[in-house]
Amino acid sequence: MLLIRCPYCEEERPELEFRNAGEAHIARSANIAGESDDDFEKFFFIRSNPKGIIYERWRHMHGCARFFNAVRDTVTDKFIMTYKAGEPKPAKLPGASK
Amino acid sequence: MKKYSVFAIAREAMRGHKGWEAQWSSPEPKKEYDVIIVGAGGHGLATAYYLATVHGITNVAVLEKSWLGGGNTGRNTTIIRSNYLYDESAGIYDHALKLWDGLSQELNYNVMYSPRGVMMLAHNVHDIQVLKRHVHANRLNGIDNEWLTPEAAKEFCPPLNISRDARYPVVGAALQRRGGTARHDAVAWGYARGASARGVHIIQNCEVTGVKRAPNGAVTGVETTRGFIGAKKVGVVAAGHSSVIMNMAGVRMPLESYPLQALVSEPVKPVVPCVVMSNTVHAYISQSDKGELVIGAGTDQYVSYSQTGGLHILQHTLDAICEMFPIFTRMKMLRSWGGIVDVTPDRSPILAKTPVPGLYVNCGWGTGGFKATPGSGHVFAHTIARDDPHPINAPFTIDRFRTGRLIDEAAAAAVAH
Amino acid sequence: MIEAFRIPGAGRLKQAKTARFSFDGQAYAGVEGDTLASALLANGVHLVGRSFKYHRPRGFLSAGAEEPNALVQIERDAARKTPNVRATVQELYDGLTAQSQNRWPSLSFDVGAVNDIASPLFSAGFYYKTFMWPKSAWKNLYEPKIRAAAGLGVAPDQPDPDHYSARFAHCDVLVLGGGAAGIAAALAAAETGVRVMLADEQADFGGSLRFESGARIEGQDGFAWAQAAVAKLRAMDNVRVLSRTTAFGYYAQNFVGLVERIGDHLQKPGRDLPRERLWQVRAKRVVLATGAIERHMVFADNDRPGVMLASAARTYLNHYGVAVGKNVGVYTANDSAYAAAIDLKKAGVNVAAIVDLRDNPTGPVINEARALGMEVNFGRAVIRAGGKLRVSSMTVQPKNGGGERTIPVDAILMSAGWTPSVHLFSQSRGKVAFNDETKRFVPGTYAQDCISVGACNGTDGLMATIDEAYAAGTKAAKDVGAKAAKSTKPKIDASESWSRGMLGAAPGAGPGTTVKAFVDFQNDVTAKDIRQAVHEGMHSIEHVKRFTTNGMATDQGKTSNMHGLAIAAETLGKPIPQVGLTTFRAPYTPVTFGSIVGHARGELFDPTRKTAIQPWAEAHGAVFEDVGQWKRAWYFPKPGEDMHAAVDRECVTVRTTAGLFDASTLGKIEVVGPDAAKFMELLYTNPWEKLEPGRCRYGIMLREDGFIYDDGVVGRLAPDRFHVTTTTGGAPRVMNHMEDYFQTEFPHLNVWLTSITEQWAVIAVQGPKSREIIAPLVEGIDMSDEALPHMSVREGKICGVPTRLFRMSFTGERGFEVNVPADYGQAVWEALWAEGQKHGAGAYGTEAMHVLRAEKGYIIVGQDTDGTVTPNDAGLDWAVGKKKADFVGIRGMARPDLVAKGRKQLVGLKTKDPKVVLEEGAQIVGDPKQAIPMKMIGHVTSSYWSQNCGRSIALALVAGGRDRMGETLYVPMPDKVIEVEVTGMVFFDEKGERLNG
């Protein structure tokens, strides 16, 4: 069971309190009705599915109920950081070299 | 390839089993092949086997980053069935089931296909509606699947708890008698032996690190940890790693890879005579020929390549097993493990040509790919050899999410009201 | 009474009380503190089991958890049978009853042993090469035979009366293993005041101090020191000490699963005690002090009962006071077996000979053995053990060949060296490294916040172990923020030390081809099998393991993995690290399902949700159905009624007078805020901005892909307040779906979302008399059609409590849904019931609700739709706001295949024979005479007998259905074909006049 830091509660809590909500930083177009089939496919179906660093969303379901973002290594399942929804994708990860 | 038989065993017994030849050769990679298959799991090896036997294409390399059959082939709970709802799914899974029946003889390798019956339990009215929809659709598709009362279900599987007092009582079941299990390692080994005997090179410990394309976009070969290997046709059969390999060719996939755990108990004398599955209580169980109860359930919730998962997932799984079989609490979990399953948005596989000329992909089997192994390999070999899908896999395109022509087995089964 | 092999004055159980037990029906006596193994050995019993494949007679290999052979069935009573219990771990209690396994008719004469004679046929993987002819014989003949022969014990056949418990715990430092290393680490950490947990799988702490007679710590015997140190730890408030507790799994982020055995060693555990308790511990730091396991020597017939690990014989002597024989031989490749020989010799056991594979070893134990007059042979191998049901001799030969000499013995003590227990380290995803000099894998690269100390880290000798462990404990405490404490590092007065040894097959293991030199005892894997696997192309250790089954038995290869690996490496001509090590997987030792499941059985398997009105329904004889986690009243049979009759009556009652229905399970969400209408516009297909406060609208929610996700009636209570209802099963996911969009896609909207499902009980009152029933109880709401038309909502009071009164109908009759705070749900229901009785109203259940709505063609999402149905498919285009620029699903439902012709559309079906009721899920075809596989064009989604219509009715999804009105289609059933006519979806009151009737 993973231990996840909720950036709103500012606490590490067990995975049982959270629900994974898929890849992060996939914005819904403000003009979604006008998107092409290709763009809609990219938005809703295509996923990075990286072996390594993933930017993903979690919800602190049985806690503050907020959605937030996390950076995790999918090979080790180690969390690198978590941050609030709406914050930009971090330009640099803690511990990563330039 | 020397034939296996009881006589061969008797002959070898006389000389201390020193005369057995290697089941597959371990060649050095050549500079170029006609076809490269990425991934020596069951599906990849079957593809190579049928390329050789059906299409006469033997200048084939199967590249494996680790040991053959070591991915989901060697980690799954070996359930075989074909009682899927949609015509497309029923088509491919029943194609596989027909090949399972006779595969031991075809390969001259006992894969222990055991049609002991797969029983899917209903626990409420919604389950009955869903399972009966399957039963009726299967019947008209020529696929056996019959409806059982709780009493008949218990007669077929005596340890099952059908008490009305259960939290989720059994209210009926759908039984596919031709469903069952097979010996997972033997499937990989049997196909490997058959392919190798026909000249296919199975190259283990050879990880693909890049996919090379010509200026016109067509595939020219792959970079590997053992150097560049050329081929004009590359079939990617990399299960949980499909996204990774396809990305190397510049193709982003509608896939996510999740941990799927399974476990076995200590071996006991025969007690579970068939496969039992429940979507509502959510677990499945069978008993191996060795006597171990083989148990699985759902995936972890997050994308991972770690081949491990959380204890709480196993807890939910065993909760469910002991709900269906309360007599098993004193049984012991002997071994648990994890695989990486690649899941598509509609839970059906992709078995298709790709936008890249010469690149083919066979992926997205999710938690249920083992049962399709022979059928998948058979039609994927066709797709590669002819550069055109077999009618059976034609619906399993890569672009169906764009158009909306889904084969949504998950939606058909899992929506509760 | 002193048993024949209990040595007076030896061991630590001298004062213990007698415990009587039986094995295979024979009565024996042991003492409390014994294991079943030590008690049997005290009685001279070595033969306790049969092997998996060849049914070879087997005895005890070990004195611990690594035991592959001595598995028995323990039966407390008819419902408490436990198969595959290791006799070396099972503690003795008075009255224990054990049976041997996998033998027939008896342990000493087992018919299955014919497999041993025929064993040349049963080579590794033989079953892959035969049993293929004829095809059907695998299922009908071979497999049943193989299955019956395989398996060890017998599964229980009754529900388990015992219960299992679970605890979560957090600590700063978790120490796994309670030998000298673990105790020292725990002491060091505990003294700093941090929270420490110390766990050991055995009943007594001390680990190898149980048998190491040469260890003295703090002026006392090592084992006595361990007890004193653990007593001190137990007395500290910041320390939790768990004995009989096995750490079985090491998961991500220092999450460790342990099982504590609480009842199995007690004569009468009592109903209050759980049998076992699962501990799930999150630790800031983990210290692994899991020790090492001795390996056996691989030589011919090394499985004869009486052939055992040297440390096991020493444990039986030094701890239990039991001699494993009267005349023992020793076969070793390292020093530790000498210490065993010396202890046995001093206890009066004759040591016939020590056979040492090494050429010219030196050391104090060798000198001591010689000084005690023992025969010591260097450079020699035991090439064969004699005897069958018990070892009778060992045959010795110079290791490079030469004359054989057979020495009579009644036990052989063997040691090939020690394998560090890196299981948990490896489970933590740490990478092991091979030390070529000492021939062992030790922890290399760590992946988590843990540290290995002592024997599991390849540290030899008590002195170095204590130093390392104490330092690790101190550092772990410091890492979690503790201040340094005064060191109380235990002082070592005397210790034992050994290392090295050998891996793989000894000279006695062949290359002769008829030799059975066992690597894996339980699975009958011999050195020859492993060589054969390599010859057959199995070049990866994982292939070797799977092909031979080496290391896959209930002991998971604790004694066999390293030997198997070494033999494979030798055969391949590769160094061991290049062949690799198989993955260590949880659990470390087998764990009962019960301990994992804990309380989650029966009622507690899953919570049961109950409405406020459920007690009334129970009291009035309702039959319930499971809907998600809810129990819902399905129908209310009167005496003598079956389901059919009850449902018919309920349906008619609603349409003639009125019915009361508990609709509390419907999901309810309050959407509040200045932007509430904007939010609703985005989440539902319908337009909401113009819906007047006080009015309701049927809303459809899509997923982004354009398929129907949920539906429900939405009431606008105020300009900024919507009362949204969802399907019963959909409530949680709809709430999650809304929150997701609100928090991440539309955070600019000023809205609050609140789940109010549990807050409001909902009583549907439907039928021509519904208004008369409700009106007398309502205050402050004008109930006239003008003031409260169909699809409107008012707030007021009913029976003096607040209500949100909806005028709406899921039956097609005049209808209301009375929402009241859940606490008043039953009281208001009873008041309405009393009013209803005046008018002849009745209660109806979910089945009647389904029939009534189907009569009106109202759909149920999840039954009439299945996640592949668009609003248009469902005939709900009217509910999609055509002028809207955006809502969730707007783009998805415009994809080419979602707007293509020929899609399946919801229609009504009438059977040509009105009495025939279609089966839900039945498939529809255009041509019933076609051959299988038939072209199916749709399926029946809902189907009922309608007493109100006097005929059967059905809804179906049919390809191009709306263009097929009046067409005849066919439903082929196994025994007949049913003719149906495609119709509209409304079967009753087509004009909808009864809504105001």
Per residue of chain B (417 residues), what is the pLDDT tens digit?
A: 899 999 999 999 888 888 899 999 999 999 999 999 999 999 999 999 999 999 999 999 999 999 999 999 999 999 999 999 999 999 999 999 999 999 999 999 999 999 999 999 999 999 999 999 999 999 999 999 999 999 999 999 999 999 999 999 999 999 999 999 999 999 999 999 999 999 999 999 999 999 999 999 999 999 999 999 999 999 999 999 999 999 999 999 999 999 999 999 999 999 999 999 999 999 999 999 999 999 998 899 999 999 888 999 999 999 999 999 999 999 999 999 999 999 999 999 999 999 999 999 999 999 999 999 999 999 999 999 999 999 999 999 999 999 999 998 877 654 333
Q: Is C405 found in the same domain as C390?
A: yes
Quick check: B302 contacting A, CB < 8 Å? yes
Whether A92 maps to a domain, the answer reads no
Mutant choice from C251, C595, C596, C861 vs B, greatest count of B C-beta within 10 A? C596
Whether B22 maps to a domain, the answer reads no
How far C674 CA lies from chain A's nearest CA (Å)? 21
Q: How many CB atoms lie within 10 A of CB B330?
A: 21
C113: confidence class by pLDDT, cuts 50, 70, 90: confident
pLDDT of residue C524 exceeding 80 = yes
Q: Is C141 found in the same domain as C73?
A: yes
Whether C83 maps to a domain, the answer reads yes
Lowest mean pLDDT, pick from A70-74, B341-345, C147-151, C212-216: C147-151
Q: How many CB atoms lie within 10 A of CB C348?
A: 12
- Does the beta-carbon distance from A49 to B255 stay under 8 Å? yes
* C134 CB-contact burial (10 Å; exposed 0-12 / middle 13-18 / buried 19+): exposed
Residues C130, C496: Cα–Cα separation, whole Å: 52
Q: Is B390 found in the same domain as B249?
A: yes
Contact C455, C291 (CB under 8 A): yes
Listing DSSP states for C387-440 in one string gives ESSSEEEEEEEETTS---EEEE-SEEEEE-EEEE--HHHHHTTPEEEEETTTTE
Residues C923, B139: Cα–Cα separation, whole Å: 9
- Does the beta-carbon distance from B304 to A77 stay under 8 Å? yes
pLDDT of residue C616 exceeding 60 = yes
The dihedrals phi and psi of C603, each to the nearest 5 degrees, come to -55, -35
- Does the beta-carbon distance from B416 to C528 stay under 8 Å? no
Whether C785 maps to a domain, the answer reads no
- Does the beta-carbon distance from B254 to A74 stay under 8 Å? no
Whether C259 maps to a domain, the answer reads yes
Whether B381 maps to a domain, the answer reads yes
C-alpha pair distances (Å), B411 with each of B347, C301, C898: 9, 59, 15
The dihedrals phi and psi of C609, each to the nearest 5 degrees, come to -90, 135
Whether B4 maps to a domain, the answer reads no
Whether A68 maps to a domain, the answer reads yes
- Does the beta-carbon distance from A67 to C282 stay under 8 Å? no
Contact B71, B39 (CB under 8 A): yes
Q: How many CB atoms lie within 10 A of CB B159?
A: 18
Write the secondary structure of chain B as one string of H (helix), E (strand) and C (coil). Answer: CCCCCHHHHHHHHHCCCCCCCCCCCCCCCCCECCEEEECCCHHHHHHHHHHHHCCCCCCEEEECCCCCCCCHHHCCCCEECCCCCCHHHHHHHHHHHHHHCCHHHHHCCCCCCECCCEEEEECCHHHHHHHHHHHHHHHHCCCCCEEECHHHHHHHCCCCCCCCCCCCCCCEEEEECCCEECCHHHHHHHHHHHHHHCCCEEECCCCEEEEEECCCCCEEEEEECCEEEECCEEEECCHHHHHHHHHHCCCCCCCEEEEEEEEEECCECCCCCCEEEECCCCEEEEECCCCCEEEEEEECCCCCCCCCCCHHHHHHHHHHHHHHCHHHCCCEEEEEEEEEEEECCCCCCEEEECCCCCEEEEECCCCCCHHHHHHHHHHHHHHHHHCCCCCCCCCCCCCHHHHCCCCCHHHHHHCCC
Mean pLDDT confidence for C848-876: 97
C120: confidence class by pLDDT, cuts 50, 70, 90: confident
Residues C387, C408: Cα–Cα separation, whole Å: 10
Contact C696, C714 (CB under 8 A): yes
Quick check: B12 contacting C, CB < 8 Å? yes
pLDDT of residue C753 exceeding 50 = yes
Whether C797 maps to a domain, the answer reads no
Q: Is B172 found in the same domain as B264?
A: yes
Whether A90 maps to a domain, the answer reads no
Mutant choice from A19, A47, A68 vs B, greatest count of B C-beta within 10 A? A47
**Vertex C169, ends C167 and C170: CA angle to 5°?**
170
Whether A93 maps to a domain, the answer reads no
Structure tokens at C948: 């109100």
Range of the domain at B138: 118-177+257-343
pLDDT of residue A98 exceeding 50 = no
Q: Is C173 found in the same domain as C118?
A: no
Whether B332 maps to a domain, the answer reads yes
- b/e map of C300-324 (b: 16 or more CB within 10 Å)? bbbbbbbbbbbbbbbbbbbbbbbbb
Contact C941, C864 (CB under 8 A): yes
| Maximum separation of any 2 CA atoms in chain B, in Å | 68
Whether C693 maps to a domain, the answer reads yes
Domain count, chain B: 2
CATH number at residue C38: 3.10.20.440
Residues B276, B255: Cα–Cα separation, whole Å: 28
Mean pLDDT confidence for C80-100: 97
Whether B409 maps to a domain, the answer reads yes
Quick check: B104 contacting A, CB < 8 Å? no
Range of the domain at A17: 3-84
3-state secondary structure of C278: strand
Whether B241 maps to a domain, the answer reads yes
Contacts of C683 in chain A (CB under 8 A): none
Q: Is B100 found in the same domain as B124?
A: no
Range of the domain at C717: 666-756+870-900
Whether C306 maps to a domain, the answer reads yes
Q: Is C363 found in the same domain as C425?
A: no
Q: Which residue has the tokens 């390996």?
A: C295
Q: Is C230 found in the same domain as C138?
A: no
Contacts of A78 in chain C (CB under 8 A): 252-253
- The answer for residues whose C-beta is within 8 angstroms of residue C883's C-beta and 6 or more apart is C687
Residues C861, C873: Cα–Cα separation, whole Å: 12
Residue whose C-alpha is closest to residue C940's, from B128, A63, B19: B128
- Using CA coordinates, name the residue in chain B closest to A74: B304
Q: Is the peptide bond before C511 cis (omega within 30 degrees of 0)?
A: yes
Residues B121, B128: Cα–Cα separation, whole Å: 9
Residue whose C-alpha is closest to residue C559's, from C394, C423, C358: C423
- Does the beta-carbon distance from B311 to C257 stay under 8 Å? yes
Contact C737, C678 (CB under 8 A): no
Counting as contact any 3 or more CB pairs under 8 A, the partners of C are A, B
Nearest CB partner across the interface for B141, out of C124, C933, C939: C933
Contact C187, C488 (CB under 8 A): yes
Q: Is C126 found in the same domain as C109?
A: yes
Residue after which a domain boundary falls, among C121, C141, C159: C159
Whether B288 maps to a domain, the answer reads yes
Residue after which a domain boundary falls, among C465, C494, C523: C494
Query: How many B×C Cβ pairs under 8 Å?
Result: 346
Contact C105, C96 (CB under 8 A): no
Residues C735, C648: Cα–Cα separation, whole Å: 36
* B17 CB-contact burial (10 Å; exposed 0-12 / middle 13-18 / buried 19+): buried
pTM above 0.95, yes or no: yes
Contacts of C249 in chain A (CB under 8 A): none
Quick check: B267 contacting C, CB < 8 Å? yes
Alpha helices in C856-961 (DSSP H): none
Structure tokens at C278: 């699962």
Quick check: B22 contacting C, CB < 8 Å? yes
Mutant choice from C743, C884, C888 vs A, greatest count of A C-beta within 10 A? C743
Answer positive or negative: Cα dihedral of B120, B121, B126, B128: positive
Structure tokens at C57: 């007679």
Whether C499 maps to a domain, the answer reads no
Whether C955 maps to a domain, the answer reads no
How far A74 CA lies from chain C's nearest CA (Å)? 12
Contacts of A38 in chain B (CB under 8 A): 402
Whether B36 maps to a domain, the answer reads yes
A96: confidence class by pLDDT, cuts 50, 70, 90: low
Listing DSSP states for C317-361 in one string gives HHTT-B-S-SEEEEEESSTHHHHHHHHHHHTT-EEEEEEE-SSS-
Q: Is C132 found in the same domain as C84?
A: yes
CATH number at residue A8: 3.30.2270.10
pLDDT of residue C589 exceeding 60 = yes
Residues B299, B171: Cα–Cα separation, whole Å: 26
- Does the beta-carbon distance from C739 to A19 stay under 8 Å? no
3-state secondary structure of C188: helix
Structure tokens at B404: 């909306």
Residue after which a domain boundary falls, among B343, B363, B384: B343
Q: Which residue has the tokens 């409590």?
A: C801
- Does the beta-carbon distance from A20 to B301 stay under 8 Å? yes
Q: How many CB atoms lie within 10 A of CB C267?
A: 12
Q: Is B361 found in the same domain as B234?
A: yes
Contact A47, A20 (CB under 8 A): no
* C973 CB-contact burial (10 Å; exposed 0-12 / middle 13-18 / buried 19+): middle
Residues C444, C467: Cα–Cα separation, whole Å: 20
Mean pLDDT of chain C: 96
Residue after which a domain boundary falls, among B307, B325, B343: B343
Mean pLDDT confidence for C746-755: 97
Q: Is B164 found in the same domain as B133?
A: yes
Residue after which a domain boundary falls, among B343, B368, B402: B343
The dihedrals phi and psi of C625, each to the nearest 5 degrees, come to -125, 150
Q: Is B394 found in the same domain as B322?
A: no
pLDDT in tens, C231-283: 999 999 999 999 999 999 999 999 999 999 999 999 999 889 999 999 999 99
In what order do the strands lie in the sheet containing B283-287?
B146-148, B172-176, B118-122, B275-278, B283-287, B293-299, B256-265, B332-343, C591-592
CATH number at residue B329: 3.30.9.10
Q: Is B100 found in the same domain as B131?
A: no
pLDDT of residue C285 exceeding 80 = yes
Domain count, chain A: 1
**Cα C982 to chain center, whole Å?**
49
Q: Is B100 found in the same domain as B164?
A: no
C1: confidence class by pLDDT, cuts 50, 70, 90: low
Contact B256, C544 (CB under 8 A): no
- The answer for residues whose C-beta is within 8 angstroms of residue C467's C-beta and 6 or more apart is C489
C-alpha pair distances (Å), C323 with each of A31, B206, C32, C326, C893: 85, 54, 17, 7, 80
Contact C332, C360 (CB under 8 A): no
Contact C518, C555 (CB under 8 A): no
Residues A59, C732: Cα–Cα separation, whole Å: 14
Q: Is B323 found in the same domain as B189?
A: no
Residues C606, C549: Cα–Cα separation, whole Å: 38
Contact C164, C276 (CB under 8 A): yes
pLDDT of residue C511 exceeding 90 = no
- Does the beta-carbon distance from B266 to C590 stay under 8 Å? yes
Counting as contact any 3 or more CB pairs under 8 A, the partners of A are B, C
Q: Is B339 found in the same domain as B352?
A: no
Residue after which a domain boundary falls, among C159, C175, C190: C159
Structure tokens at C17: 């009380």
CATH number at residue C182: 3.50.50.60
Q: Is B378 found in the same domain as B323?
A: no
Q: Is B409 found in the same domain as B350?
A: yes
3-state secondary structure of C873: coil
Domain count, chain C: 4
- Does the beta-carbon distance from C528 to B269 stay under 8 Å? no
- The answer for residues whose C-beta is within 8 angstroms of residue C748's C-beta and 6 or more apart is none
Residues C776, B241: Cα–Cα separation, whole Å: 68
pLDDT of residue C169 exceeding 80 = yes
CATH number at residue B39: 3.50.50.60
- Using CA coordinates, name the residue in chain B closest to C144: B289
- Does the beta-carbon distance from B9 to C728 stay under 8 Å? no
Q: Is C474 found in the same domain as C390?
A: no
